[in-house]
Amino acid sequence: MSRRACLVFGIADVVSALLLALGVFVGLPDRWWLVDTGGALLILALGAAGGGLIAGTKWAEQVARAASALALAVGLAFLGAVALAASYLSGIYRPVGKGGAIIFILVGAMMVPYLVILPSLQLVWLGPPRRPS
């Protein structure tokens, strides 16, 4: 693993964790234990992965792989939920629902770089897990 790539992905993970914390704990008006717990776990995983990659620790690769897989799974589930909600609003409420659907689509589009593209690129960069020799 090159040092420059570790720094880039480490900083990207830390920024993603900060943006996710801002979105979940500041941006959402209501608290729901499922979102708060899942968000907190993902924030901790991305923060640990980013910190480990920046510091160059031995465990950073494993934590980054797990955090990226978790972020990708959450991101894909989130996009699926947003797509279902947008299509429901648009189909049931017609003109009024189209405005709500547009908002859902914009929120989903803002999450794609941090919860789909970045974790996918990081998993490709990390490659398959190495077996201890």
For a pLDDT cut of 90, what percent of the chain falls above it?
A: 77
- Residue 36 CA from chain centroid, whole number: 14
User: What stretches of 23-117 show up as alpha helix (H) in DSSP?
Assistant: 33-55, 60-112
- pLDDT band of 33, cuts 50, 70, 90: very high
| Interatomic CA distance for residues 78 and 115, integer angstroms | 9
| Interatomic CA distance for residues 114 and 38, integer angstroms | 15
Residue 26 has pLDDT above 90, yes or no: yes
Residue 132 has pLDDT above 80, yes or no: no
| Interatomic CA distance for residues 95 and 76, integer angstroms | 27
**DSSP category for residue 39:** H
Exposure pattern of 27-57 as b/e (b: 16+ CB <10 Å)?
eeeeeeeeeeebbeebbebbbbbbbbbbeee
Look at residue 28 and give its three-state secondary structure: coil
Using alpha carbons, list the distances in angstroms from residue 131 to 62, 67, 128.
11, 19, 9
Report if pTM > 0.85.
Answer: yes
What is the tens place of the pLDDT at every residue in 104-128? Answer: 999 899 999 999 999 999 999 999 8
Chain-wide mean pLDDT for the chain?
Answer: 93
What pLDDT sits at residue 129? 84
Q: How much is the average pLDDT of 87-91?
A: 90
